[in-house]
Each structure stands twice: as C-alpha cells, then as structure tokens.
Amino acid sequence: MRVIVGADHAGFRLKEKIKEHLKRKGFEVVDEGTDSEKSCDYPDFAVKVAEKVAKSPKSIGIVVCGTGIGTAMAANKVKGIRAALATNEYMARMAREHNNANVLSLGARVSKEKEALEMVDSFLGTDFSLEERHRRRVKKIDAIHGKTLK
Ligand code: RB5
C-alpha cells in the first residue's frame, strides 16, 4: 500500500518519525513535505497529500500539523477525501471501520510519538466495515460534495 505523507513545520518531526516507521514496515511512502521546521502553511501540504490520494484511491494519506485540525479541514476540501482527525487509537480505527477515511490527520502538539504510531498502525490495519449501514452513511457524505447551501 502506498502512503502519502505531509506536514507543516509543527508536524515535520512527527511526519519524519511516521515515515521511518512505515518504511521499516515495508510500506511505499511518498513525502509531500514540508522538509524542515521552518514556518509554513499547513493547507499547502494537506492539499498536496489529499490530491494525490484522490487520484489514486488505493493509497492512504497521513497529514500532521500542530493540532491536526487545520490539515484535516484543508484535506477535506478536496473531492473524494474523507480526512479524519484522531487523537487516540479508537478514533483512528473507527475512522477506517465506520467512516472509510482515506486520510488520517494527527496533531504533533497533541499526541505523543508512541500514540501517533499506534494510530497510524490501526488506521492502516483496519478495513472499511462490510455492514450496509456504514456504507450507506459514507455514500451520503460523499454525495454532499458540490451541493450548495440554500
Ligand atoms: C501552526 O502554529 C499551527 O497553527 C498549525 O500547525 C495547526 O495546528 C493548525 O491547525
């Protein structure tokens, strides 16, 4: 499985740890930056990851910023992306099992490295549930894209 990773300056160090962890486990990792702790804007990197994931539906994205909030918000603007912010292993697992999330968003100032790697492992190790109700709900999420507010 190909994993596309990206982060802003706040998430850079954790993104590097995630990359090492995934490479050790044999995943193909594509790094969309940033490449230092120099201040930058999280939407730029979240969108690069999201666009790559949207174009290659079998891939998974992992984005990291300080809280994980901004990268999730930005990634979710890209059609076909279901980005989930997780702060614990249960959320990361449920994001795949119930929501079929294709991007995991983590907060480097919120989660410790060990917790983050556990979330990464759970996210990548969990499949979307076969239960009809979960599939129906995710279809409804995907159908929202493009609708205008009345
Ligand atoms: C950067 O200071 C911080 O705002 C950013 O990493 C992120 O937490 C935004 O959601």
- Please tell me the predicted confidence (pLDDT) of residue 141: 94
Compute the chain's Rg from CA coordinates.
14
Please, which pLDDT band fits residue 146 given cuts at 50, 70 and 90? Answer: low
CB of residue 68 inside a 6 A radius of ligand 1: no
Considering the candidates 21, 65, 134, 145, report the single residue annotated as catalytic: 65
Average pLDDT over residues 94-123: 98
CB of residue 123 inside a 6 A radius of ligand 1: no
Active site residue 145: no
Question: pTM score, two decimals?
Answer: 0.97
**Between residues 123 and 1, which one has the greater pLDDT?**
123
Q: What is the mean pLDDT of the chain?
A: 96
The answer to whether 11 and 70 are in contact (CB under 8 A) is no
The three-class DSSP label of residue 63 is: strand
The count of C-alpha atoms lying within 13 angstroms of the C-alpha of 46, restricted to the half-sphere facing its C-beta, is 33
Please, which pLDDT band fits residue 65 given cuts at 50, 70 and 90? Answer: very high
Considering the candidates 9, 21, 40, 98, report the single residue annotated as catalytic: 98
Give pLDDT tens digits for 4-26. 999 999 999 999 999 999 999 99
The answer to whether residue 40 scores a pLDDT higher than 70 is yes
- Please tell me the predicted confidence (pLDDT) of residue 147: 72
Active site residue 134: no
| Residue nearest atom 10 in ligand 1 by C-alpha distance | 70
Which residue ranges form the domains of the chain, and what is each CATH number?
Answer: 2-148 (3.40.1400.10)
Residue 127 to residue 1: CA distance in whole angstroms: 13
| Residue nearest atom 3 in ligand 1 by C-alpha distance | 66
The answer to whether residue 32 scores a pLDDT higher than 70 is yes
Q: How far is CA 35 from CA 14, 45, 127, in A?
A: 12, 11, 31
Characterize the bridge pairing of strands 28-31 and 2-7: parallel
| Residue nearest atom 8 in ligand 1 by C-alpha distance | 66
Q: What percent of the chain has pLDDT over 70?
A: 97
CB of residue 43 inside a 6 A radius of ligand 1: no
Give pLDDT tens digits for 77-99. 999 999 999 999 999 999 999 99
At 51, list the tokens: 């666009």
- Please tell me the predicted confidence (pLDDT) of residue 57: 87
Please, which pLDDT band fits residue 148 given cuts at 50, 70 and 90? Answer: low
